[in-house]
A and B are shown apart, each in its own frame.
Chain A
């Protein structure tokens, strides 16, 4: 596809369950980012993948959060033992190596933990 694709678009889960969020970046984009936006907050950086380098996980809020990127393309963000404070819109973005012209964001996954 032409843009960044995220699935599911909406996810409601019970507290304590694990969830997986998927991101399909633009073909050829070497960089992939995960952000989240909680209600009333700005965009919060979570994790960054660049090519085959080790990811920058400095933004992950706890060890319940993990992400992987297979084959330098599709990425999965996993949240284990979800908590209510994990409720947010999770946004994925990709960019060419030189990111000054901006990232392309997906439409996000709205996660609600009940």
Chain B
């Protein structure tokens, strides 16, 4: 049972345009959602998070939107830059659970010049 789903394995966006990465979840108990960015041969790095009681969180070029009724969140990157090319993982965190983050399978974002 995949509790966090990233249905697009890859996404190609032109430099300077907006990148929108989508994530769906099934577990209503998640308290927080987090986005991680991963370059090849490196561990994931934390990017941005959002509490389940909010619908938007913004940090520079990165904005995460949460739609609880649809159990959907998205990460917007504006403007997209070549260094944004990486695999992006969406994750849910359940404060009441002890099993850490539940990750999606990731979306490979490719920024084209």
Question: Footprint of B on A, CB under 8 Å?
Answer: 4, 33, 35, 41-45, 48, 50, 56, 58-59, 91, 93, 99-108
Contact check, B89 vs A59: say whether CB atoms are below 8 A apart: no
Q: Chain B: how many interface residues by the 8 Å CB criterion? A: 26
Residue of A nearest to B90 (CB): A42
Task: Provide the residues of chain A in CB contact with B42, threshold 8 Å.
Answer: 107-108
Most chain A beta-carbon neighbours within 10 Å: one of B41, B47, B89: B41
Question: Footprint of A on B, CB under 8 Å?
Answer: 6, 31-32, 34, 36, 41-47, 49, 51, 89, 91, 93, 98-106
CB distance from B96 to the nearest CB of A (A): 13
Contact check, A43 vs B99: say whether CB atoms are below 8 A apart: no
Contact check, B99 vs A102: say whether CB atoms are below 8 A apart: no
Task: Provide the residues of chain B in CB contact with A91, threshold 8 Å.
Answer: 43-44
Contact check, A102 vs B98: say whether CB atoms are below 8 A apart: no
Asked whether A56 and B98 contact (CB < 8 A) given A42-B105, A42-B106, A104-B46, the answer is yes
User: Would you mind naming 15 contact pairs between A and B with Cβ atoms under 8 Å apart?
Assistant: A35-B100, A42-B6, A43-B89, A43-B91, A45-B102, A56-B98, A100-B32, A100-B34, A100-B93, A101-B49, A102-B34, A104-B46, A105-B44, A107-B43, A108-B42
Contact check, A48 vs B105: say whether CB atoms are below 8 A apart: no
The 6 A-B residue pairs with the shortest CB-CB distance in the complex, in nearest-first order: A102-B46, A105-B43, A42-B105, A43-B103, A56-B98, A100-B32
Task: Provide the residues of chain A in CB contact with B99, threshold 8 Å.
Answer: 45, 48, 56, 58-59
Q: Beyond A102-B34, A108-B42: 15 further Cβ-contacts under 8 Å?
A: A35-B103, A42-B89, A42-B106, A43-B89, A45-B103, A48-B99, A48-B100, A50-B98, A99-B101, A100-B93, A102-B46, A102-B47, A103-B46, A104-B46, A105-B44
